[in-house]
Amino acid sequence: MNLNEAIDIALQNNLQVQASNIHVDIQNQLKGTKFELPKTDFVANIGQFNSKNLDQYYSISQSFNPFLFGPKKKLLNENVKSAELKRNFAKQEVIMNVRQTWNNIMYYQKLNEILIEQDSLLTMQVKAVALKYQTGESSQLEQIMSITRKEEFQQMIRQNQTAMDMETKKLAMVLQLKEDIIFDLVEYGVLDLFDVSNAASLTQNTAVSIALQDVKLADMQVNLEKAQMKPEFSVGYFIQSLTGNQEVNSQIISYNGVPRFQGATIGMSIPILSLGSNKAKISALKNNVLLQQKNADITNQSILISYNQLISELNLAKSKLEYFEKTANPNAAIIIRNANTSYINGDISYIEYMQGMQMAREIKLDYFASLNRYNEIVINLQYLMNK
């Protein structure tokens, strides 16, 4: 498995992303409620409401607010956009987690190679010191020091392996995989750096986009509440009976209790008693727009601060890597070569030899620690700038 394959699997299997997909589906389904109407009223009356005779009255009516349809449709569409932005944010989080964990695993694998290589050299040195001790060419102190150093390295190897196992389990959890992960072996090196000089591209950050979308949603809530204050209309139809004698065209006609007289109704509702509470709601919703704008400003400021900090750390990490590649690493190679030659020729003591080897090893380990930190910064910038 390589990094790109791991990201694809994570985006498909991760529970957070799956939940975000369901949330988008829900908001799309709610778009079907843009023309939602109140319940239809059915009324049936039977009694002496026209005369002493029993009469029947049936009606059906429907109320609606035509001013609500437009604002509600816009709000529902923006809710879909908000859900999609949150899904993108969840995907970015997953991608960053995979990249970070992958980088750590590759780093620990490289450390493991270095430590095992050093352990092999120490094994040879322990045998050489033991042979010298038997022939009287070295002291018991040198033999004890060589054995102690080897045991120390074995402990470092075990600690590094434990750290790598923990990162591997973390990756398996993000990917939602139960089987063991087989990694493609690649040389651990510097991650490719994209153009990070344009701070204006921070506007593409998903957290900023979500914050700005929240401002838009809050503003649409104001428009929706304003529409609620506008008149509501109703239309209806009724049919009823008028039992008894009725004069029709100068003739007296007797009607039984069968409903036959019909008509239509139309009405309008306006907020009179609720006007004060509606205005209070609108005032509160307008303040919520200001609140969401402040939250967006805070988010934008926080992203910018993180960006500036990461750029400073990136420049420092670059400088440190250049120092290792141009100066420290070549010097470490010289130290190892000279220390081996001098010790074999008997020009230096075992203690001096171990000091030289320890310095060279620390340079090598510090180099890869600096490389790991550089890669972490690049990954954080990728996340911050939506790459």
- Confirm whether 126 is domain-assigned: no
Let me know if residue 39 belongs to a domain.
no
Structural domain includes residue 369: yes
CA distance 314 to 308: 10
Q: Of 228, 211, 165, 235, which Cα lies nearest the Cα of 304? A: 211
Structure confidence at residue 340 as a pLDDT band (50, 70, 90): confident
Q: How confident is the model at residue 100 (pLDDT cuts 50, 70, 90)?
A: very high
Predicted pLDDT at 126: 66
Rounded mean pLDDT, 224-233: 91
pLDDT digit string (tens) for 137-163?
666 666 677 777 777 778 888 888 899
Q: For residue 135, is pLDDT > 70?
A: no
Question: How many domains does the structure of the chain reveal?
Answer: 1
Q: Look at 161 and 251; give whichever has higher pLDDT.
A: 161
Q: Is the residue at 11 inside a domain?
A: no
Residue 95 located in a structural domain: no
The C-alpha atoms of residue 387 and residue 379 are separated, in whole angstroms, by: 9
Residue-range definition of the domain harbouring residue 379 = 194-229+278-387
Residue 304 domain-assigned (yes or no): yes
- CA 185 – CA 170 distance, rounded (Å): 19
| SS3 assignment, position 22 | helix
Pick from 241, 311, 300: nearest CA to 55: 241
Any domain includes 332: yes
Please report whether residue 238 resides in a domain.
no
Give the whole-angstrom CA distance, residue 309 versus residue 306. 5
What band does 354 get if pLDDT is binned at 50, 70 and 90? confident
Per-residue pLDDT tens for 167-216? 888 888 888 887 777 777 677 888 888 777 777 778 788 999 999 999 99
Closest CA to 236 of 38, 33, 36, 34: 38
